[in-house]
Amino acid sequence: MKPFYPILRRGAGWTLLLTAVAGASCSGSDDAAPGPAEGAATPYVTRVLDFRPAVGQFVNQLPEYEAGDTQETMNRKALEAIGGNRRGMISLGGFGGYVVVGFDHTIENRPGLCDFRVLGNAFLASGQTAYGSCEPGVIEVARDLNGNGLPDEDEWYEIAGSSYPEASESWLDAARAAGNDVQTLTGYEITYHRPTEEPSAAAEEYIRWEDNRGGSGYIPKNTFHGQPYYPQWIDAATLTFRGTRLPQNGIDLSGAGNNYALYAFAYGYADNLPDASDRSAIDIDWAVNASGEPASLSGVDFIRIHTGVHQLNGWLGECSTEVMGVEDLHLLGVSIRSNTVKP
């Protein structure tokens, strides 16, 4: 049976879901009026329209699920974490999990300059420039062209990062040699199954997944995180996510499964490079349509981030993108030339 509620297929169902969620959150006190607010613009997130992590070891903890929570209250908790300049953290779980955020103004696309960055907890290992904890999230942007205060299906565009539409990173040969799947796959789709029972200890065959390329497997439960990994406020028996999947960037330097280095992508992703790095900044000019052609947006009103890598990294667990906020670089007076980030 095709699940209705959590399905992320780009179609009417998703739009309806967003409408329902955003409509509900409009009654919340934190929610700014949709659209630009003259003179009152803040550089940060003011709305969380949809927080929908995939399964993962930090899910139901970042933010914390409590009995009785609903999609609306979890959206609010996500906003409490990453709204404004609070720099709390939400985890998007494994591949496909996502958050959709909005602002009290349109983030302007200034020619030749990067326009925003998504904050995360990525860092580089001591003394290293190539790897560390890099868990890239794919970024999509929407311009509210019809002015309804919501991101509609036909308003989304993907930020073409360094591995779009094909993988292109300096470390791909090493990753391939380590046995990684190093393809970029657009239109990748994965379905996770709610476990029939919650194991009390670590379990290898914990949460079953299948993709639309004939692949399948399990997300294990590890010894460090004992809570349920499947989002507890979602009743559906399966969760399906769809989007661009990036090359697997975790390489076990030990060869024994205990020292995973997560390699950084060159540019264009969330939670991939330290927030202070210019290469974490995004130029709206990189947005492309489904055919890979430039979207030519004058600005963006909504940003969607999903975990881009589908990989288990030994005791580190599944790759999961974390989000800590978004910054409008222009409102903060930060000038980063786009051609210094994307050569």
User: Rule CB under 5 A: which residues touch Ca ion?
Assistant: 109-110, 113, 115, 121, 135, 144, 146, 148, 150, 152, 271, 283-285, 322
Residue 237 beta carbon to Ca ion: minimum distance, rounded to whole angstroms: 28
- Alpha-carbon span 282 to 118, nearest angstrom: 8
Name which of 144 and 327 has its Cβ closer to Ca ion: 144
HSE-CB of 156 using CA atoms within 13 angstroms: 19
Radius of gyration of the chain (CA): 19
Name which of 195 and 295 has its Cβ closer to Ca ion: 295
Q: How many helices (H) and strands (E) does the chain have?
A: 4, 19
- Alpha-carbon span 101 to 45, nearest angstrom: 6
Closest by Cα among 92, 312, 137 to 218: 312
300 forms bridges with which residues in the sheet? 107
- Alpha-carbon span 258 to 313, nearest angstrom: 9
Name which of 150 and 185 has its Cβ closer to Ca ion: 150
Name which of 128 and 148 has its Cβ closer to Ca ion: 148
Residue 113 beta carbon to Ca ion: minimum distance, rounded to whole angstroms: 5
- Alpha-carbon span 298 to 138, nearest angstrom: 20
Name which of 121 and 186 has its Cβ closer to Ca ion: 121
Cis-peptide, bond into residue 247, ω within 30° of zero: no
Residue 4 beta carbon to Ca ion: minimum distance, rounded to whole angstroms: 22
Residue 89 beta carbon to Ca ion: minimum distance, rounded to whole angstroms: 9
Contact status, residue 239 vs residue 145, Cβ threshold 8 Å: no
Residue 297 beta carbon to Ca ion: minimum distance, rounded to whole angstroms: 9
Residue 120 beta carbon to Ca ion: minimum distance, rounded to whole angstroms: 6
Name which of 70 and 339 has its Cβ closer to Ca ion: 339
